Amino acid sequence: MRISAFLIPVFSILFGILGFFLRASELINVFDPITNLPMRGAATTFWLIAVSAVFALFILAFSIFASIKHRSLNGFENAFGTDPLFYPIVFVIIGLIWLFGTYLYFSDLSSIDTIELGFISFSAISAICVSLFAIEMYQDSRKRASYALSLVPTIFLCYWLVLLYRQNAANPILLSYVYQCLAIAVSSLSFFMTSGFLYDKPAPGKAIFCYSMTVYFCTVSLADDISVGLKVIFFAIIAVSLIHSAMLLSNLQRK
């Protein structure tokens, strides 16, 4: 699966870039600048949905094939082939990028309520946990701290999804934020699937599917009119999913 470890992440990025440009075109040409209502039956909207469906079906088929023909080794460090230098260093950098995105989001706010403060705090803690988890796995994967560290980003993303719904509760135009919802939902599943390898519940096929869909939908969401800080956080999540996808695929063993 070493060739797939390169091709699938690249394929996810390319489809994500295509989806990004389609989404950017949709936001400019489909939504009315005054009412913000989308035009019914717009071609761009159809093509974006079609591209998303084609990509999802392809990744689903590949994930099923991978789970049937291959298996992951026991233990997180064996399933992902955790490198004693690459994994901790890269994930510390990703954690710093995530923290920077959280700071940018905080600096853009004119006022902060309790919900926003919770989001900022939870996001910063999740960024730190992403880095500490990689370091902990390098030092001793049997330590109980790594179990808790692996779950924090999953809970944060669930919180983010609730916050996004709260912010759009009065918004009847689902199309304006649906791709963000999908991006956050599959991102939460990606971190959850990663934790499964630590808890001796590996599901390589499901994990590959979630990683690829996370890369795709987070890349598409970068086109949305959201703060730079949230885009940086999405970028950090994309990096996490790309690396985990490549590492898992490169270490799958034939049954």
**Per-residue model confidence (pLDDT) at position 170:** 82
And the tokens for 131? 């880095």
Q: Which helix (H) or strand (E) holds 57?
A: helix 43-69
The pTM (predicted TM-score) of the whole model is 0.94
Please list the pLDDT of the chain residue by residue as tens digits (255 residues). 678 889 999 999 999 999 999 999 999 999 887 777 888 889 999 999 999 999 999 999 999 999 999 999 888 888 898 677 888 899 999 999 999 999 999 998 887 888 889 999 999 999 999 999 988 876 665 566 777 888 999 999 999 999 999 888 888 889 999 999 999 999 999 999 999 998 888 999 999 999 999 999 999 999 999 999 999 999 999 999 999 999 999 999 998
| Under 8 Å between Cβ of 177 and 217 | no
DSSP 8-state assignment for residue 248: H
Give the chain's length: 255
| Three-class SS state of 254 | strand
C-alpha span between 231 and 102 (Å, rounded): 10
